[in-house]
């Protein structure tokens, strides 16, 4: 654990070697096709993930969708165990959902909130979560309480602790915001939430697959993740973790016949475990692909992935600074999402100019993190996100290309 309350991989874990990175790139069909620096948007899958999806789609086409799911039942079940093991959870604490926001919403709307109670959150809050807070203000009469930053730019943990009282419905933190490079001290917030007995929901959309996560160490009650980003899974995948200590007390907002059984004309019974947050229909090809991606991350080791991404991101930050760009990143140990502007360069034009050269970046919008963008006056930015497959040659090529636009 570091002094900011987060487990750091760097002290004990070695980054991947050049040979290991070359091996991982050889297993990634797109790696030499584009310079992909948009892992925070959607990463490049491995051959194993892609083949897993294609094989299942072929099975569905050849023998029928329901029959293919029946045939693959054991492997479909195994995906839950893979994801659980990736984040230190138990199998029955994992629900499959089709995106991080659906997972987060399923958890958030199941939490009890009374009129006048507060939702404590922080500047890094993601737009979709903040929109849900505003909806909860309208629908449940709660109040949104945004805790400010400390001197590092992360959520001010001491201030958050001071704001905790018996009128808090929940604490909702975004671990890594969609832009801004920050890693919030999730475990320090977890300690406060647990001490006060307040439900704690963590948006780990950008941190799962990027950081070495352990839900027990973090102390969150709920955690939402996406498949397509740092986990390198398929688009259209996500998951929700719900701690078993509260699971059976949470009632999902719109359970279907998979999440519950219609036991009598005027009765239904919710499924035990996180299954109550799922829907019946789902892309099993995608789910199996996500399992392959989670297995790949476990095989490499998320501690080593974290250390590699950190090393690569620091190199890119150094080179961008040397080239005269402005960085907007926060925190004592920023992550693999680099946020930059260059004088006179429109971020969207830069993105399109780089794409012409086979380099993928994305654009960070103030509306995606409105609390933070208002607080710091953050403009539209270039969001350049690295992964363990990123090479130094790709970084140099990107910085050189940016300097010439």
Ligand X SMILES: Cc1ncc(COP(=O)(O)O)c(C=O)c1O
| Interface positions with ligand X (CB under 6 A) | 99-101, 126, 128, 174, 177-178, 203, 205-206, 226, 238
243-246 LR contacts (CB < 8 Å, sep 24+): 243/93, 243/215, 244/90, 244/92, 244/93, 244/273, 245/221, 246/199, 246/221
* Nearer residue to ligand X within complex by CB, 190 or 238: 238
- The radius of gyration of the chain's CA atoms, rounded to the nearest angstrom, is 21
**Least CB distance to ligand X at residue 175 (A):** 8
Q: Which two tokens stand for residue 296?
A: 């790949």
Angle between helix 284-300 and helix 73-87 axes, rounded to 10 deg: 40
**Least CB distance to ligand X at residue 289 (A):** 15
**Least CB distance to ligand X at residue 335 (A):** 11
Task: Give the ranges where 197-301 is alpha helix by DSSP (H).
Answer: 215-218, 244-247, 284-300
* Nearer residue to ligand X within complex by CB, 199 or 233: 233
Number of H helices, E strands in the chain: 15, 15
* Nearer residue to ligand X within complex by CB, 206 or 279: 206
Separation between Cα atoms, residue 231 and residue 227, nearest integer Å = 6
**Least CB distance to ligand X at residue 211 (A):** 13
Q: Which two tokens stand for residue 115?
A: 């009129």
Q: Which two tokens stand for residue 156?
A: 């001010």
Separation between Cα atoms, residue 172 and residue 81, nearest integer Å = 26
**Least CB distance to ligand X at residue 116 (A):** 27
User: Quick one: which of 291, 305, 330, 328 has its CA closest to 390?
Assistant: 305
* Nearer residue to ligand X within complex by CB, 101 or 390: 101
Angle ∠(275,277,282) on CA atoms, nearest 5: 80
* Nearer residue to ligand X within complex by CB, 15 or 45: 45
* Nearer residue to ligand X within complex by CB, 118 or 229: 229
Angle between helix 347-356 and helix 392-404 axes, rounded to 10 deg: 120
Residue 139 burial (CB count, 10 A): 11
**Least CB distance to ligand X at residue 42 (A):** 9
**Least CB distance to ligand X at residue 236 (A):** 9
**Least CB distance to ligand X at residue 352 (A):** 20
* Nearer residue to ligand X within complex by CB, 174 or 283: 174
* Nearer residue to ligand X within complex by CB, 177 or 347: 177
């Amino acid at each position: 654990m570091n002094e900011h309350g987060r487990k750091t991989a760097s002290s004990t874990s070695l980054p991947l070697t050049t040979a290991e990175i070359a091996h991982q790139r050889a297993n990634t069909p797109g790696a030499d096709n584009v310079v992909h620096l948009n892992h925070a948007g959607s990463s490049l899958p491995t051959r194993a993930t892609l083949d897993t999806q294609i094989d299942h789609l072929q099975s569905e086409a050849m023998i029928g969708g329901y029959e293919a799911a029946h045939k693959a039942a054991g492997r479909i079940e195994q995906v839950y165990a893979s994801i659980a093991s990736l984040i230190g959870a138990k199998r029955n604490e994992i629900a499959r959902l089709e995106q991080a926001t659906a997972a987060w919403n399923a958890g958030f709307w199941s939490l009890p909130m009374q009129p006048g109670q507060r939702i404590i959150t922080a500047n890094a809050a993601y737009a979709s979560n903040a929109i849900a807070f505003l909806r909860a203000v309208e629908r449940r009469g709660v109040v949104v309480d945004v805790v400010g930053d400390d001197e590092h730019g992360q959520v001010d943990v001491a201030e958050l602790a001071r704001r905790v009282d018996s009128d808090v419905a929940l604490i909702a933190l975004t671990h890594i915001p969609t832009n801004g490079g920050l890693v919030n001290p999730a475990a320090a917030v977890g300690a406060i939430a647990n001490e006060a007995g307040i439900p704690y929901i963590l948006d780990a959309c950008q941190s799962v697959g990027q950081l070495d996560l352990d839900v027990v160490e973090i102390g969150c009650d709920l955690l939402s993740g996406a498949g397509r980003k740092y986990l390198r899974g398929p688009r259209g995948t996500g998951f929700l973790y719900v701690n078993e200590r509260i699971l059976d007390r949470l009632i999902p907002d719109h359970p279907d016949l998979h999440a519950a059984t219609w036991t009598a004309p005027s009765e239904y019974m919710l499924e035990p475990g996180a299954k109550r947050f799922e829907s019946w229909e789902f892309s099993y090809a995608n789910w199996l692909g996500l399992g392959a991606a989670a297995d790949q991350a476990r095989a490499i080791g998320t501690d080593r992935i974290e250390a590699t991404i950190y090393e690569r991101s620091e190199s890119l930050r150094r080179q961008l600074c040397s080239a005269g760009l402005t960085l907007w990143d926060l925190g004592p140990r920023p992550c693999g999402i680099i946020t930059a502007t260059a004088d006179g360069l429109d971020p969207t034009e830069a993105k399109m100019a780089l794409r012409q050269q086979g380099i993928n970046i994305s654009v960070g919008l103030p509306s995606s993190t409105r609390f933070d963008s208002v607080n710091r006056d953050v403009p539209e930015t270039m969001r350049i996100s690295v992964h363990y497959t990123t090479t130094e040659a790709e970084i140099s090529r990107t910085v050189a290309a940016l300097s010439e636009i």
